[in-house]
Each structure stands twice: as structure tokens, then as C-alpha cells.
């Protein structure tokens, strides 16, 4: 059986804008490795409502609970609403990417989905047409 990557809903979105920034060197290295695997192998991802395989090396991961849980859960819920997926769904990475493009890009929903995220100034500059 092939590997399944755990992913919080909003990380499907953040991953499309990742340019090597992050909370620590370890976080960046891990996120780079996870995205490399997902993008090259189109692995199955399982939608989770807790810390995922990107959070695993984050200094804000407090034993499986994000230090900013109240804020990130809002991003998660907004993304789930746009994707039409639910917690526990298992889908191919490329299908999740397609949802990001068709539901969030096509309808220009980045500002409303990402409200108050501290990385917003970086993601807003990204040329979404390249996705």
C-alpha cells in the first residue's frame, strides 16, 4: 500500500505558495520534503483536523495541537467549504490542487480564506496564474 500523507485543509492552499519560508530550518526542510514527495508521486492525502505531516516539524506544534489553533481552524474550515471535502476524506494530491485552483483561484477567494494570516503578504504577491 502506498504512503498516505496527513494534511490539514489549509495546507493544501499554503503548499501552492511555498517558496522556502517557514517557522524554522527544520520546518522548511520537512515541508520541502513532503511537497517534493506529493508533487512527484501524486500521493494520496488524508484530510485531518489536527496537526499533520507539515506540522510535524513546526515549533508551534504543541504535542499535536497548533499553538494558533483558533486561527488556523478558521482557515481550515473556509478551505473545506471551498473544496467540498470533509475531515477523513482520502484524495489524490493533484485532485486537492485542482480544487485550490478551481475554487479559490478562479473565484479570487484568497483574501477571505486567508484572513489575518501572518504570511499573507508573501502569498498575495504570488502569481496565482502559475498554479
The partner residues of 7 in beta bridges, in order of sequence, read 47
Q: Which is nearer to ligand SF4, 23 or 42 (CB)?
A: 23
# residues contacting ligand SF4 (CB under 6 A)? 20
Give me the 38-57 binding string for ligand SF4, x by CB under 6 A, dash otherwise: -------------x--xx--
Applying CB under 6 A, the residues found at the interface with ligand SF4 are 8, 10, 13-14, 17, 51, 54-55, 58, 60-61, 66, 68, 72, 75, 114, 117, 119-120, 123
Amino acid at each position: 500500500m502506498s504512503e498516505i500523507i496527513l494534511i490539514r485543509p489549509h495546507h493544501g492552499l499554503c503548499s501552492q505558495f511555498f517558496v522556502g519560508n517557514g517557522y524554522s530550518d527544520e520546518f522548511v526542510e520537512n515541508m520541502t520534503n513532503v511537497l517534493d514527495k506529493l508533487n512527484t508521486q501524486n500521493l494520496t492525502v488524508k484530510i485531518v483536523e489536527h496537526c499533520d505531516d507539515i506540522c510535524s516539524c513546526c515549533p508551534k506544534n504543541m504535542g499535536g495541537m497548533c499553538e494558533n489553533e483558533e486561527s488556523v481552524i478558521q482557515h481550515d474550515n473556509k478551505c473545506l467549504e471551498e473544496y467540498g471535502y470533509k475531515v477523513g476524506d482520502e484524495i489524490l494530491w493533484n485532485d486537492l490542487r485542482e480544487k485550490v485552483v478551481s475554487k479559490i483561484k478562479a473565484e479570487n477567494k484568497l483574501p477571505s480564506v486567508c484572513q489575518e494570516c501572518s504570511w499573507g503578504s508573501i502569498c498575495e504577491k504570488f502569481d496565482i496564474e502559475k498554479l
